[in-house]
Structure 1
Amino acid sequence: MKDLNEALTEITEIRRQIVRTAEFRGYGPVTVAMTGLVAIAAAVVQARFLPAAANDVVTYLTLWISTAAIATSLIGFEMVIRSRTIHSSLGPEMTLHAIEQLVPSGVAGALVTAVLIRVAPDAVWTLPGLWQILFSLGVFASARFLPRAVFAVAVWYLFAGLVCLSLAATERTLSPWMMGWPFGIGQLFAAAILQWSETGTDDSIE
């Protein structure tokens, strides 16, 4: 019985090690690209129906939180299916590991938003830049088990966030393109990298 327990413990540890080191292929390039287009579409909607977003922060937040929820749902749904197909029995564990990398930045973004709305409403113009910077931290954390080029996507979001903070500081407005272009380009960039990685992997297998 003792030998059996030790063997099971070793197997569990091996599985954990594989989950930590294997490349995660649960993110589908087409779906990731779609989330970029969703971000651009949301920016168009804001530009058309909410030109003075700084005067209606609640509607602004509703729009972009809904956009984030849609994007997360699309990626999450496909991630579960792809992980089960590609990673087989390790799928659930690898999916959970991938989610764990993004949760801290997501929670931080929600808390920062709540605090600004509550105690510093005059500083809400910083939200687009802060969201991008926090998202970049999640991508940096995820880059360890994704194609190496994903590191460049994290750098893009960090750079875009800093630029948005710098530009918004002059007029202190909530421009739709401070969200649309950074997230649109960033997600399309990530999708291209994932597609390139999948093509390279398939070619090497052949």
Structure 2
Amino acid sequence: MSDLHDALGDISTIRRQMALNTQFRGYGPATLAGTGAAAMLAGVAQALWLRDAAHHMSAYLCLWIGTAVLSSAVAGVQIYTRTRRLHSGLSDEMIRTAVEQFLPAVGAGILITFVLVRSAPQVLWMLPGLWQVIYSLGVFASCRFLPRPMIAAGAWYLLTGLTCLAIGDTRSLAPWTMGFAFGAGQLLVAGVLLTATPENEDEA
């Protein structure tokens, strides 16, 4: 019985190592481009109906957190189905690896948002920059099993995040700081996947 457990453990280790050394194809360019379009639409909505975000932070947070949750849900469903189709036998390990790479950044973003809202509302103008910097860390962490040009997307989010922080006041809450940064960033991610992945026919 012990030999059986050891053998199963060895198989699990091998499968996990294969997942770590295989390019992840679960991110669909079309879906990620759609999340970029969603960010741009949210920026337009803010420009039209939430012009003074600094004095309506609850609405601002609802808009952008809602956009992030919706985009993540759509992308998550697509990642699951696409990974099942393209990675077949390794799908569970590939999904687990992808989640493990990005989850720390997501968790950090949630916790920082919660702490600032509860304890330091006077510096909530920093959130757009912090969100983008944290997202860049998630992208960089995922680069090990994505096409190498994806580093450019991580650099983009790091640059836009630092730019927002450098603004230094509530001007960082302007619609473009999120709409343009995440809209263009996700389109960049989609473009990298479309051009650097050999299976371009699997665009969904």
AA aligned to 1:138 is G
The aligned counterpart of 1:99 is 99
- Which letter maps to 2:194? Q
User: Does the aligned pair in 1 maintain the 2:54–2:170 contact within 8 Å?
Assistant: no
SS where residue 24 of structure 1 aligns? coil
Residue matched to 2:181: 182
- Partners of 2:151 and 2:8 lie apart in 1 by 36
| 1:189 partner amino acid | L
Q: CA deviation at 1:164?
A: 1.2
Deviations 1:104-154 (A, max 9, x none): 111111111111112211111110000000000111111111111111110
Q: Do 1:54 and 1:173's aligned partners in 2 also have CA atoms closer than 8 Å?
A: no
2:61 matched residue in structure 1: 61
Give the 3 Å change call, closer, same or farther, for CA 194–19 of structure 1 in structure 2: same
Per the normalisation by structure 2, the TM-score is 0.93
Q: Which residues in structure 2 correspond to 1:45-124 (within 5 Å)? A: 45-124=45-124
Q: Which runs of 5+ in 1 are unaligned?
A: none
Indicate the RMSD between aligned Cα atoms, in angstroms. 1.6
CA distance in 2, matches of 1:42, 1:96: 30
Between the two proteins, the alignment pairs up a number of residues equal to 201
Distance (Å, rounded) in 1 between the aligned partners of 2:113 and 2:37: 24
Give how far 1:171 is off.
5.0
Whole-Å Cα distance in 1 between the matches of residues 127 and 166 of structure 2?
A: 12
- The answer to whether 1:147 aligns with 2:143 is no
1:43 is the counterpart of 2:43: yes
SS of the aligned residue for 2:148 comes to coil
- Contact residue 40 and residue 180 of structure 1 kept, 8 A: yes
Asked if 2 retains the 8 angstrom alpha-carbon contact of 1:53 and 1:173, the reply is: no
Matched letter for residue 85 of structure 1: R
Deviations 1:153-192 (A, max 9, x none): 101100110011112x155451111101110110000000
Query: 1:22 is aligned with what amino acid?
Result: T
What does residue range 6-17 of structure 1 map to in structure 2 within 5 Å?
6-17=6-17
Compare 29-38 and 91-100 and name the one that shifted more. Answer: 91-100
Structure 1 range deviating more: 169-178 or 188-197: 169-178
Residue 85 of structure 1: SS of its match in structure 2? helix
> Is 1:159 equivalent to 2:184 in the alignment?
no
> Structure 1 CA distance, aligned partners of 2:111 and 2:6?
43
* Conserved 8 A contact 1:28-1:78: yes
> 8 Å contact 1:37–1:184 — kept in the other structure?
yes
